[in-house]
Amino acid sequence: MVSRTLSRLGATGLAAVAALGLLAGCGKGGGGGSAGGGDNGSLTLWTHNAGNAKELAADQQVVDDFNKSQSQYKVTVQSFPQDSYNQSVTAAAASKKLPCILDVDGPNVPNWAWAGYLSPLTGMDDTLSKFLPSVVGKYQDKTYSFGHYDVALAMYARPSTLQAAKIRVPSIDKPWTAAEFASGLKALKATGKYPVVLDLATGNTGEWWPYAYSPFLQSFGGDLINRSDYKSADGALNGDKAVAWATWFRSLVTDGYTPLKSSADPEADFLNGKSAILYNGSWGAEQARAKLGKDVVFVPPPDFGSGPKIGGGSWQWAVSSGCGNQDGAMAFMKFLAQDKYVASISEAAGTIPATDAAAAMVKGYEPGGDNDIFRQFSKKFAEVRPPTPGYPFIATEFTKTSQDILNGADPKQALDKAVSDIDANQKSNNYFA
């Protein structure tokens, strides 16, 4: 009996080898060999949109249109899930298998350009001058990428909630001051109706922390690094203004306004009435309107002294330096930059169109439209994250430090430590010269 089982096992092993051999033939992906080398006019495009059917379809439409518009080049789309896209790209770069065209998250552009993954975009300056500045990826005076859209952060609130607590509804021209914001939070807490007064989505991880919270730091007058030469964070991240930001940030927890860790879906909590004010991106606006109708407003973050600030820069398109057909890749990039595609892709993504002409084509983003407010926020308040190759390290350091501060670390000591680490990293990389 056991012997028969063993024979079966042996046979299974042999069958497995045979199956593997057969499948290896039919199971080879499009990215095998030269991933997107551009040989014979074929170009591969990587996007982070796997699982996002609408945006992926819009990307595919551009590619189909481009392939039909000429016969010299043929672009093929490969989609990856957003959450693990960067790992896939860096692994491909390590094995020299990057595709010709790829999308890249805005803050990573300087690092990938410095690492030699990307080649500069040439002959597009006129076209890109019409795009929002926050969607054009630059490093050392060269343009490496552009995006079809941006996203904007805002405070979500119910007008009925604000009115009941006698809080003014702020506008783009007259945002809350720091004092107004503080008294507003106090008034909302006094109502006793909300388990969470201000939900900053502190349960989110990764890039959310620098994207969402460094604008508060900038509004206080601090920054992640000195932007004059990008060599040191001393003074910017540990000066008096930065310490004031850190002290305020921690006070949100000690005053009982903000949880140390928000739930996995703060937007659902806001819509369910568990929180009074939600700090969220423009991507959640449609769902909020669908649930709350007219009883929701999107207002700018408070002005803590240097004006309201929000993060800028979203997904952008770039050409890899290893692409064997730069001409074909650039032809595609120019085709991609047309307003109609800016409109179709941003509409599919539910994000802010990067050009005025495209905004006029997307319902809700036309001047005076429901979502135009986010576009105005982007134009007026967006601050790009520091365009230095050291940004990924700075982002990690800022995240760690902010979490420590929120948990009760001494603000000055924590910020001094972050500055020391960031400066050491910049120096050890020879300031990315």
Partner 1 sequence: MTAHVAENIGRHSALAVGRRASAGRTVGGYALRIVLCLVFGLPLLFMILSSFKPDLEIFADVGSVRAFLPVGHLTLDNYTGVFDRVPFWQFLFNSVLISVVTVALGLVVNSMAAYALGRLRFRGRKVILAVILATLIVPFEVLALPLLWWVNKLPWLDANGFSLGWLDTYQVQILPFVANAFSIFLFYQYFDSIPKELDEAAVVDGAGFFRIYRTIVMPLSGPAIATVAILTFLPAWNSYLWPLMVVQSENLRPVMVGIDYFKQLNVSWGQIMAYATMITVPVLALFIAFQRAFINSIASSGVKG
Interface residues with partner 1 (CB under 8 A)?
A: 2-3, 5-6, 9-10, 12-13, 15-17, 19-25, 27-33, 35, 46, 50-53, 78-84, 87-88, 91-92, 94-97, 151, 263-265, 267-269, 271-272, 281, 283-284, 287, 291, 350
Which residues are bridge partners to 384 per DSSP?
312
Give whichever of 27 and 123 is closer to partner 1, judged by the CB atom: 27
Residue pair 324/33 in contact (Cβ under 8 Å)? The answer is no
Distance of closest approach, residue 230 Cβ to partner 1, in angstroms? 28
Q: C-beta of 178: minimal distance to partner 1 in Å?
A: 29
What is the nearest approach in angstroms of partner 1 to the Cβ of residue 201?
Answer: 11
Rounded Cα distance, 89 and 79, in Å:
12
| Residue among 418, 391, 384 nearest 403 (CA) | 418
Residue 277's φ and ψ, nearest 5 degrees, are: -130, 135
Under a CB-based contact definition with an 8 Å cutoff, are residues 399 and 224 in contact?
no
DSSP letter assigned to residue 300: P
Query: What is the rounded distance in angstroms from the CA atom of residue 364 to the CA atom of residue 134?
Result: 21
CB of residue 16 to partner 1, shortest distance in Å: 4
Closest approach, Cβ 46 to partner 1, in A, equals: 8
Strand partners, 299: 155
Q: Which is nearer to partner 1, 94 or 433 (by Cβ)?
A: 94
Which of residues 21 and 192 has its CB atom nearest to partner 1 in the complex? 21
From the CB of 246, what's the least distance to partner 1, in Å?
28
Q: Tell me whether residue 30 or residue 408 sits nearer to partner 1 (CB atom).
A: 30
Burial of 373 (0-12, 13-18, 19+ CB in 10 A): buried
- Closer to partner 1 by Cβ: residue 30 or 116: 30
Nearest 5°: phi and psi at 52? -110, 80
Question: Least distance from C-beta 130 to partner 1, angstroms?
Answer: 25
Whether the CB-CB separation of 358 and 346 falls below 8 Å is answered with yes
Give the DSSP letter of residue 260: S
Beta bridge partners of 311: 383
Backbone CA torsion sign across 92, 96, 97, 102: positive
Q: Which is nearer to partner 1, 154 or 165 (CB)?
A: 154
For residue 157, give the H/E element and its range. Answer: strand 153-157
The residue whose two tokens read 């001393």 is 234
Least distance (Å) between residue 306 CB and partner 1: 28
Cβ proximity to partner 1: between 262 and 388 the closer is: 262
Nearer to partner 1 by Cβ, of 89 and 342: the residue is 89
- Which amino acid does the sequence have at 360? A
CA within 13 Å, CB half, 195:
10
Partners of 82 in the β-ladder: none
Buried b or exposed e, range 216-247, using 16+ CB within 10 angstroms: bbbbbbbbbbeeeebebbeebbbbebbbbbbe
Q: Residue 34 Cβ, how far from partner 1 at the closest point, in Å?
A: 9
Considering the complex, state which of residue 97 and residue 250 has its C-beta at the smaller distance from partner 1: 97
Angstrom distance (rounded) from CA 156 to CA 284:
9
Q: Are 433 and 114 in contact (CB under 8 A)?
A: no
Q: Which is nearer to partner 1, 193 or 231 (CB)?
A: 193
Q: How far is the CB of 243 from partner 1 (least distance, A)?
A: 33
C-beta of 256: minimal distance to partner 1 in Å?
18
Which CB, 51 or 367, lies closer to partner 1?
A: 51
